Structure 1
Amino acid sequence: MKFSILIPDAEKNYVFAVINCLSQVSRVDIYLMSNEEHHSIKYSKHIKNHSYYPKTNDETVWLSNINNELKKYDINLVMPIFEDGIGTIIKYKDSILFKDKLCLMPSYQNFNTALNKKLLYQHMVKNKISCCTGFVFDKYIFNNKEFRFPVLIKPVKGTEGGVGIHKFYKKKELEQFFAQNSDFSDAFLIEEFIEGFDLSCNVLCKDGEILLYTIQKGILFDDKPFSSPIGVKFLFDLRLLKEVEILIKSLEWSGIANIDIRYDSITDNFKIIEINPRFWGSLEASLAAGINFPYLYCLLSSGQKIEKQEYNFIEYLNFNALVKAIKNDKKLIFHIKFILNNTQLKFILNDPKLYLRKLYIRFKLFLRPK
């Protein structure tokens, strides 16, 4: 029996990974709604329909567009994939004609806590959850507080791909930054830098219980500071999982999330950095490891029971990582089985029209006068 899914914010880049995961299941019909008329995703062979609606800042119009799609097509589930869409639907879910067709999501209060680094930090301190020491910028506290350098400053909202994160080694450098950017006020979190390395835990939850998860560590990165890894290795650590379980339970979380964690090499423990209350860029890596998060999320939201599943401790490279890895070691090109099973190449070969269109758009942008 087939069932259908509507992704109402398909203009977001994560849509490619979500569709690659859903396309592994033949009985899923994928409907897209986006504010980009010529989005390359419409060329994917895996989608049933792409509907274009002009971009709007009016949330009621966007919700009305979703209702139009629900009335027009026999949609079983509405699954937003990014923070803006998820937050809007949670906040105004009573405006959706068929609320029973919405995927599982947390409460609006808990979603907002997860999304806002200030609120999340306060929540973790209150609930005695292991986290990095920090505080939201305040002139009085800043001038009277002693803290260790180096430090990181992060926007309270929105650091996708490491955008807006800065590292400072001396208090004078930090003072100069805030003097030059005085309008930031309390929009930044100052966090002591922890010696160690980053990990991520991806979860599917219901009512504060983790039903499925994968844990990964970056093994290859691009040249942008603080950006997400382009190559990952899957592993397991019970202590890390326990910290994530405490956090998820405290937020009574339902749905999917990606939790960033820092291993403190000095104290030998794990500290929660932040939660991305949305799908994540390495979804295809989790799929290769054995967990199809988007599909299982849909099953759970449909009321089906999700059995515990093990994942494989593999390495995975996206296409950029594959190119970089081959440049570093030419012999990798002969590892055909690894390239076809543990990299993004298989998705490109499986849906060539889509990726040729993406390449064409990139080429046009490259030729555009600066």
Structure 2
Amino acid sequence: MNSQQLNLLEYTGANRHIPLILTPRPHVTPTPVAPETTPPLPRREGDAWTVLVLESNYRLTGAMLFCLSRQKGIRVHLLSRDAASPYRFSHYIHDWHYLAPEKSDAELLAYTRQVAQTTKADVFLPIDVAGMRFAIAYQQVLATFVRLLPLPEAEAYEIATDKSRLGGFMQQHRIPAPDTILNVRHNLETQLKHFRFPVLLKPVDGIGGGGIELFQDRPTLLQAVARLPEGSNYIIQNCIEGYDIDCNVLYRNGKLVAYSIQKGILPAASAYAPTEAIEFVRNEAVLAVAHQVMKALRWNGVAHLDLRYDARTRQVKVIEINTRFWLTVVGSAVRAQVNFPVLACRAALGQNLPPASFALGRYIPFANFVRYKLWGRSTNKVPFTLRDTTALSMLGDPLPKLYRFLKSL
């Protein structure tokens, strides 16, 4: 990208960044204090309100901004740690606020307060794991100047986020899950003695199926474990013959207030990666198992549960939990008619939420839709239409995509 192209794009988005002054206080961790006051609510549920979103990666941030844009009356401000964020130019945000990534959590907290007060923000909305951890750690201070979406207790959050700890928790609470070996470096041969193959070796911190390997026999698995990097954290689970089916939830004060259930309907691009398209379906067994684990965790907030139907035992089993917003949150908003980011904001504002329900339908990201139409199999083709896609988001907010494309040249 040349300087003229960048200058042109900077001009089109010049009103997106008003820098705020911060006096740095490095290495200072503020002591949480009880709120002196509670930020005022909008007068009525129909009133406009302002949401301060803590930016995440490109795809997840785009999904969240699209969902928020579908609700009239929401004014979005984006708090970013990326100086080159494409969302400086987003049509979906009112303003963009930047704090350098090397600044401490204490400085982020101070800056969040400054931005929230300047913009008169009603809700602070973290969207990924790092953002959720920040909000959970500082929620008492944050609550003195802005409202927060429902958040779980810190210990419950860490259990749900860590595949190894979650596996042990589910064993303890007898929640249906794959057979799991939590400590692969301790007496593994004995642990495998009655373990059913094939098995999956999974990194505890893996995302989107990355790093997962399939093993058909014990010797090959033992060799692979012996080669694992020192300090790495893995678990072993038996490979379940069946199909993936996921559940998206929002809990408030231990009560399920919104959910949708989705099943993959196209093969993934690679082994263990997310499916290329989903269909929203009814399944009471999935909802029952999801509620069982969420109740045991005393969950509060959003989560995306990866589950799998075990054809051998005829059970739905919990594989892992994404303790953040998820990419297919767009599908829930577009096709299932459950807009989780908006509902999380409404929960933060203490508004009444409609009874939990969702519509049926298919969803496919627009890029996947184009590939499938051009190169998909001709037999038994799933009849997707533009209504099943995010084409509207491509047309409604083109500048971040254009900037990202030009930046890559």
2: CA distance, partners of 1:109 / 1:330: 47
Matched, 1:46 2:104: no
- More displaced, 313-322 or 135-144? 135-144
Compared CA separation, residues 140 and 21, structure 1 to 2 (3 A): closer
CA contact (8 A) 2:113 2:145 kept: no
Compared CA separation, residues 99 and 188, structure 1 to 2 (3 A): farther
Matched, 1:283 2:329: yes
* Cross-structure match for 2:223: 176
2: CA distance, partners of 1:138 / 1:340: 47
Q: Write 1 or 2 for the structure with the bigger share of helix.
A: 1
- More displaced, 223-232 or 72-81? 223-232
1:155-178 per-residue CA deviation (whole Å, 9 max, x = no partner) reads 22x222112222111222212212
**How many equivalent residue pairs?**
358
Among all aligned residue pairs of Structure 1 and Structure 2, give the percentage whose two residues are the same amino acid.
Answer: 27
TM-score, L = length of structure 2:
0.82
* Cross-structure match for 1:346: 392
Larger CA Rg, structure 1 vs 2: 2
CA contact (8 A) 2:250 2:301 kept: yes
1:181-235 per-residue CA deviation (whole Å, 9 max, x = no partner) reads 25146x1111111111111100111122211111001112443321112210110
Q: CA deviation at 1:100?
A: 5.1
Q: CA deviation at 1:64?
A: 2.2
Q: 2:366 aligns with which of 298, 316, 319?
A: 319
* Cross-structure match for 1:29: 75
* Cross-structure match for 1:274: 320
Which portions of structure 1, spanning 4 or more consecutive aligned residues, are displaced by more than 4 angstroms? 329-332
- More displaced, 142-151 or 58-67? 58-67
* Cross-structure match for 1:247: 293
Q: CA deviation at 1:70?
A: 1.6
Q: CA deviation at 1:281?
A: 0.7
SS of equivalent residue, structure 1 residue 236: coil
**Where does 1:194-205 land on structure 2 (aligned, <5 Å)?**
194-205=240-251
SS of equivalent residue, structure 1 residue 211: strand
Q: 2:344 aligns with which of 281, 294, 297?
A: 297
1:22-56 per-residue CA deviation (whole Å, 9 max, x = no partner) reads 10112000010111122111211110111111112
2: CA distance, partners of 1:89 / 1:155: 26
**Where does 1:72-151 land on structure 2 (aligned, <5 Å)?**
72-96=118-142, 98=144, 101-145=147-191, 146=193, 147-151=195-199
Name structure 1 gaps, 5 residues minimum.
Answer: 365-370
Matched, 1:7 2:84: no
2: CA distance, partners of 1:126 / 1:97: 34
1: CA distance, partners of 2:242 / 2:57: 35
SS of equivalent residue, structure 2 residue 291: helix
CA contact (8 A) 1:194 1:262 kept: yes
Q: What RMSD over aligned residues (CA atoms) do the two structures have, in Å?
A: 2.1
Q: CA deviation at 1:97?
A: 6.4
2: CA distance, partners of 1:50 / 1:318: 26
CA contact (8 A) 1:201 1:213 kept: yes
2: CA distance, partners of 1:216 / 1:181: 34
Q: 2:309 aligns with which of 263, 270, 279?
A: 263
SS of equivalent residue, structure 2 residue 404: helix
1: CA distance, partners of 2:210 / 2:103: 23
CA contact (8 A) 1:208 1:250 kept: no
Q: CA deviation at 1:117?
A: 1.2
Name structure 2 gaps, 5 residues minimum.
Answer: 1-46
SS of equivalent residue, structure 1 residue 215: strand
CA contact (8 A) 1:10 1:32 kept: no
2: CA distance, partners of 1:356 / 1:282: 22
